[in-house]
């Protein structure tokens, strides 16, 4: 993980400050070395600071990039096209095509899916971004404070996906499966949506004027060395800046520990597992909840 640089970016000064506090508390060696924290909008970044191999999308489970940070990400990645309606739909179609290939269209909250952009109409973009990391924090837009560890799970899944991707590239085992190509029609009556009956038919002629996905040979995968990540679930999800930041830093801390101590993590004891659990649980516990959890009954549930 030391060969990847992460930029944590958000317009919220509270979240930016909480990120700094959390990493200073849990992973001080990462802050300033592999982790950079910036208060800014995506569009305000100037080259070369605006270039990233991968940008994280705090998406919904169906890959629709049309709200919050995803909306601005889609605008940044969308290809040039006279028809603005179709142009804005292209990044969503690219993402949904990969989600269907990997998850049959529904990626569970807390998962991470790397969406390659090379070989798609989004390949040439202002951020030189080659991959989107889709990390759904919610099934559909909603308050997700009930899902108390979703930020930790998303960040952990992201780190695993990045590590596996880079290892596969190094060994030559990275997937070169077909990448989606979006063909955009010019019918003025088009609503910009892909025809579900035609979406999987690579031989169908594009006569409807709708945006359509067709498979195309994908370029050779490349290593991901720089990642941009916004706050996760802090908008529509209503997760507090402090909880988001704490779970983000803990996921980085625990993942680094897992990478450094393979033997331990291959056969974790319950004592070790509860130690990691308790650190994460402290990010959402109220004053009425227990300060330690071990084998036994906790608030009516058996944990051992």
84-103 and 69-77 helices cross at what angle (nearest 10)? 110
pLDDT of 220 reads: 84
CA dist 169 and 190 (Å) reads 39
Cis check: omega of the bond before 241, within 30 degrees of 0 = no
245 versus 210: the higher-pLDDT residue is: 245
Helix (H, G, I), strand (E, B) or coil at 276: helix
> Which tops the pLDDT comparison, 238 or 295?
238
Mean pLDDT along residues 256-280: 98
pLDDT category at 2 given cuts 50, 70, 90 is confident
Please give the pLDDT value at position 218: 61
Q: Identify which of 119, 93, 109, 108 has the alpha carbon closest to the alpha carbon of residue 175.
A: 119
What's the pLDDT band for 198 if we cut at 50, 70, 90?
very low
pLDDT for the residue 213? 54
The predicted structure's pLDDT at residue 80: 77
Are 8 and 27 spatial neighbours (Cβ–Cβ below 8 Å)? Answer: no
**What torsion, rounded to 10 degrees, do the Cα atoms 132, 134, 137, 139 define?**
130
Q: Which CATH number fits domain 5-186+214-260: 3.40.50.720, 3.40.220.10, 2.30.40.10, 3.40.50.1820?
A: 3.40.220.10
pLDDT of 177: 53
Rounded to two decimals, the pTM is 0.83
Mean pLDDT throughout 115-132? 96
């Amino acid at each position: 993980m030391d060969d990847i640089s992460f930029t944590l970016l958000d317009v919220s000064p509270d979240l930016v400050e909480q990120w700094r506090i959390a990493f200073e508390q849990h992973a001080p060696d990462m802050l300033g070395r592999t982790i950079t924290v910036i208060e800014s909008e995506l569009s305000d970044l100037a080259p070369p600071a605006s270039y990233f191999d991968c940008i994280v999308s705090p998406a919904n489970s169906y890959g629709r990039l049309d709200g919050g940070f995803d909306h601005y990400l889609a605008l940044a990645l969308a290809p040039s096209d006279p028809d603005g309606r179709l142009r804005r739909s292209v990044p969503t179609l690219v993402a949904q095509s990969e989600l269907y290939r990997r998850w049959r269209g529904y990626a569970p909250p807390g998962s991470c899916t790397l969406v390659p952009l090379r070989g798609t109409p989004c390949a040439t973009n202002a951020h030189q971004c080659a991959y989107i990391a889709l990390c759904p924090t919610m099934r559909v837009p909603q308050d997700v404070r009930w899902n108390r560890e979703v930020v930790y799970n998303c960040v952990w899944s992201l780190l695993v996906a990045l590590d596996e991707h880079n290892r596969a590239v190094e060994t030559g085992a990275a997937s070169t499966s077909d990448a989606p190509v979006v063909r955009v029609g010019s019918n003025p009556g088009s609503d910009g949506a892909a025809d579900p009956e035609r979406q999987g038919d690579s031989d169908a002629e594009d006569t409807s004027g709708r945006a359509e996905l067709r498979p195309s040979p994908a370029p050779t995968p490349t290593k991901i060395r720089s990642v941009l990540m916004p706050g996760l679930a802090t908008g529509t999800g209503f997760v507090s800046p402090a909880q988001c930041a704490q779970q983000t830093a803990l996921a980085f801390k625990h993942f680094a520990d897992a990478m450094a101590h393979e033997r331990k993590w291959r056969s974790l004891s319950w004592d070790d597992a509860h130690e990691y659990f308790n650190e994460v649980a402290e990010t959402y516990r109220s004053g009425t909840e227990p300060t330690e959890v071990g084998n036994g009954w906790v608030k009516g549930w058996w944990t051992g």
